[in-house]
Amino acid sequence: MKLEKYEDKNKKKRKIILISIGVIVLISLSLILYKTFASFSEEVSFPMMKGKVDYFGNSDIYFAFYKDDELLEEMPQKDNKENLVFDHGECDNGASIEWNNDEWAPLIKELNKVKTKCNLYFKKAINAVEYFTELAKTDTTNLKTDDTSEANIRYVGANPNNYIDIGDKDSYGKPILWRIIGVMNNITNLDNGVQQESLVKIIRTGIIGGYSWDTSLSEINSGFGINEWSQADAMKLLNPDTVYSGTSEIGGSLYWKRESGNCYSDEKQANKTCDFTSSGLSEEAKKKIAKIRWNTGTKEEIYDANKITAKYMYEGERSNHNGKEQCKNASSGECNDEVPRTTTWDGYIGLMYPSDYGYAVGGEVRDTCLGMSMNSYNSEDCGTNDWLKPGGSSSYFLTPMSSSTSSNRVFHVSSTGYVGIGHCHIARWIIPVVYLKKNAKITGGTGDKNTPFTLVV
């Protein structure tokens, strides 16, 4: 009997020990699970459309919302009536914020501690057209109204503070900046039907390479290309294939798609390798670009170098004259293409006009230069006071040239600043130009290269 009692006591002890171990294991697992879910080591997105300012309660993160320095009761909605946009955010405990404007939500990083507070700051944004129109009233040195019937507002001078960040980035995440040409009036905007509106026009900083404006087979215009932008090789390189009904041609949409391949670079459809995987247009930038109706006309007269003032070319660009109408029975072999000519083109990305370059001149020589032919902009300090003058090589314009001997010539600006004409097959610099969407809003910046204007749509 004593032995049986002893064995019963041992059984009870073992049972107590096993239960105790089980409890300890459960407590340990609970602590591990709590620590796992209470400490965020991954990026976490909080798609909060509304968020009351409150104490922590049972949550591990607390948001407070501000308009400038004013505490708000809830986060502003994306399309709020006050035009509030996200400015910046701050978190304690080493956490940081990235803002996703499409989702209208913060992305919280390094959330490694419980009870973290994040402040989200919002500020009023101004429509880009309104912003630069108002700025022109006070900054009369860098912004000038031109003498055209549209009275466009343009940045002028050797180096104005007109840099803008539209979200275009290279493969390393470094911003690819653009510069503001100005506010252009009576532009045919195709984003929402067909409307005449004022839009901000910008140009990419730096070239994307030297390529043909257009080239052709040897039996067509002697292989020197066709000066019709709606079918030009450079147009296809820059724009989505939907603009030109999609083809598998060399260079098609490579800049738009951020891809690599071959691009046309000389007469008779000669081509070379090209790579836009780092320099092509980013997805974020595409969201801000308007589809518009570009003017592709020219002057009806045979080229006269002494006439090409900024205003003269502006009128020609908007005319119903094209680059082939004077060249019908030429014996040179440079006028035998059968491509229909147009004087407008619907698309996203073009090139600058001769008039854009002419009207960008500033400083004390502005009035003198605007009265001169642009083939003399390499003298009288016109080119040196024009921020659109390229450096290092000549750059193509969008505008064709009417000639009695050829239908393959277009305007370009040389590295020294004069405006001339030449065959469109020659590899010259291609610099993309676009218009910002009507709803683009300026959110900050001064326009300096180190603090460019920033915007959202």
Q: Which of 78, 104, 124 lies at the terminal end of a domain, its last residue?
A: 124
267 and 401 share one domain: yes
Structural domain harbouring 49: 44-124
Cα angle 279, 284, 287 (rounded to 5 degrees) comes to 120
Is residue 110 domain-shared with residue 209, that is, in the same domain?
A: no
With respect to residue 281, please indicate whether it lies within any of the assigned structural domains: yes
Whether residues 224 and 331 fall in one domain: yes
Say how many C-beta atoms besides its own lie within 10 A of residue 360's C-beta. Answer: 28
Task: Convert the pLDDT of each residue in 242-263 to its tens digit.
Answer: 898 766 679 999 999 999 999 9
Q: Is the pLDDT of residue 108 over 90?
A: no
Mean pLDDT of 410-419: 95
424 pLDDT above the threshold of 60:
yes
Q: What is the mean pLDDT of the chain?
A: 88
Together in a domain, 215 and 342: yes
Residue-level pLDDT at 380: 77
Final residue in a domain of this structure, among 124, 157, 184: 124
Tell me the per-residue pLDDT of 355-364, one tens digit each, with 9 for 90 and over.
999 999 999 9
Over the stretch 70-98, which tens digit does the pLDDT of each residue have? Answer: 899 889 998 888 888 888 899 998 888 88
CA-based max dimension of the chain? 130
Are 283 and 401 members of one domain? yes
* Structural domains in the chain (count): 2
Domain assignment of residue 365, yes or no: yes
Q: What is the mean pLDDT of residues 55-68?
A: 73
Q: What is the pLDDT of residues 3-47, one digit of tens each?
A: 454 455 566 666 666 666 665 656 655 555 444 444 444 444 444
Residue 151 lies in a domain: no
Of 75, 104, 124, the last residue of a domain is 124
Average of per-residue pLDDT across 364-388: 94
